[in-house]
Amino acid sequence: MTKSTASRFTSLKAYKQLQDHFEYCSELHMRRLFSIDPERHKRMSLEFDWLLLDYSKNRITDTTLKLLFELAREAKLDDAIQAMFKSGKETGHSSLHTAIRNRDSDSQNTEVELTLKRMSSFTEQVHNHEVKGYSNKAITDIVNIGIGGSELGVQSVCCALRPYHQPNALDMHFVSNVDGANIEETLAQLNPETTLFIISSKRFSNAETVTNAQTAKRWLLAKSNNISSVAKHFIAITTQHEAARSFGITEDYTFKLWDWVDDRFAIWSATGLPIMLSIGIKHFNDFLDGAYEMDEHYKTAPLEENMPVIMALIGVWYNNFFKAESQAILTYDYHLSDLPKYIEQIDMQGNGKSVDREGNTVDYPTGPIIWGGNGLHTQHAFYQMLHRGKKIIPADFIVSMRTHSVYQEQHNQLFSNAIAQAEALMRGRNLQETITHIEHTPGGFDQNDIDALPHRVYGGNNPSNMLLMQRLTPKSLGIILALYEHKTFTQGAIWGLNSCDQRDIELGNSISSMIMNDLRNDTIPAGQHDASTNALIKHYKKTVYPECKHSV
């Protein structure tokens, strides 16, 4: 049972000052802010390594930032940041993933170091074609079976770093959906003699993952006719080694996870083995190093020069004062197509909460809805809403400047579109500018143009951040992912949330188990579900299993 309503955040002195300040800022147009302050973009930009953050296209002033930094200090953000990097239950944080990417020999956890060495050794063996299947043929394909943090982050990183895929690496496949079509279509491409499965499951008990793993096991045994073949074709990444052994996986093929690593951040642990297998040991270490360098920046930089803190505070400004309900992630690099989904998971699973860390129900908005997409596809899907809709939707543009393709000129077009969209969102186009634009169009004005004028005016004043990478590399991707992890943690700390706590699917899983039993039985226990759910179960059984009797 939740406790009384919490309002500590809204009781802070800086919060009340920001409320008063909002009344002034809410009517400001960014065009005006740029026109009176030519140096605005210089003050409101920050570089870290090969990454540039330009946050000048936001509905903020110097006073806004000053008050936001005061808010952070009143919320004791500095203390929360330092606590996050310390181990021990006394910190109140259940995830210490930052320790995994700290490869400093003076502070490296021995367990982590040994696991990384095992991952590296195994990767070398695979790349040297020393890992063979039951028929003594070299492994050619890897299938990662997992869900949530055991799949989404891994797949998005493998997709993003495809240009770094090693020539001697294996083909990577991902199965997460319990819909049988996912694994059926994947297995149809593969040869059981040369396929290696990685079962990535913290507890080795997730119903969807175990179901897919059992299907893969039956597929293998149907060809090998030998139970011992399982030991050559399955790897487990889990905290539950005994469950892996019961499945038939040897200790040599079992990689350890730790309870102190939250699923959303598991890519930095042994869960990232498919990433290392794909891009190689050196590039995986570069990936870790990029995240570690952002960790150090977050831990040591003053709040006013701290990239995750700045982005987080601007997000709080929109979320809690403008009452923005969502945040768009817009990537302009072909290989970053899956990144918005992963950032969505990091943020919404972390801060999508209505109860604070003490168990009190909060009385203010917390995490926003995170959504987005990749490049020009999104411009033709939902930018009408960004430009002309009635909802304020802050956007983050994540853009690479150099491409891995030989067609840099085409990438120039992509870059131009990203920068143009950010400018158009900010500036808009007023009536006089619209008329001038039409007058300079071949054919000039006609009656249709006059009638359409209201539809061709853009109000502008739509906020965005611009993140420019020199090039998408393992290191720069590590920096970006750690940046969004720390942005999420910062907002959670200010709102009084435990961003590392994740209980999102417990209720749904328990009801799902009951419904699975209902599908197996002729009757459904009275009072177990509502009338609508009972009717849906009965309809499903009648359609899929018409020969059976059904009653509710």
Residues designated as active site: 380
Q: How many CA atoms lie within 13 A of 223 on its CB side?
A: 17
d(CA 175, CA 185): 10
DSSP 19: H
Q: φ, ψ for residue 333 (rounded to 5)?
A: -165, 130
**Amino acid identity of 125?**
Q
Asked if 74 and 12 count as a contact pair (C-beta separation under 8 A), the reply is yes
378 vs 398: CA distance, rounded Å: 13
Task: List beta partners, residue 330.
Answer: 373, 397
How many other C-beta atoms can be found within 10 angstroms of the C-beta atom of residue 100?
27
CB 348 within 8 A of CB 488: no
Whole-Å CA distances, 78 to 161, 174, 272, 490: 33, 39, 30, 10
C-alpha dist (Å) from residue 68 to 19, 98, 352, 395:
11, 26, 22, 19
Spatial distance between the Cα atoms of 233 and 131, rounded to a whole number of angstroms: 10
User: What is the residue-wise DSSP string for 345-397?
Assistant: HHHHHHH--SB-TTSEEESS--SPEEEEEEHHHHHTTTHHHHHH-SS---EEE
3-state SS class at 55: coil
Instruction: Collapse the DSSP code of 80 into the 3-class scheme (helix H, G, I; strand E, B; otherwise coil) and give the result.
Output: helix
Strands 45-48 and 254-256, bridge-based pairing: unpaired
What is d(CA 484, CA 465) in angstroms, rounded to the nearest whole number?
Answer: 13
- E strands within 383-433? 395-402
CB-based contact 186:176 (threshold 8 Å): no
Helical (H) or strand (E) element with 411: helix 408-427
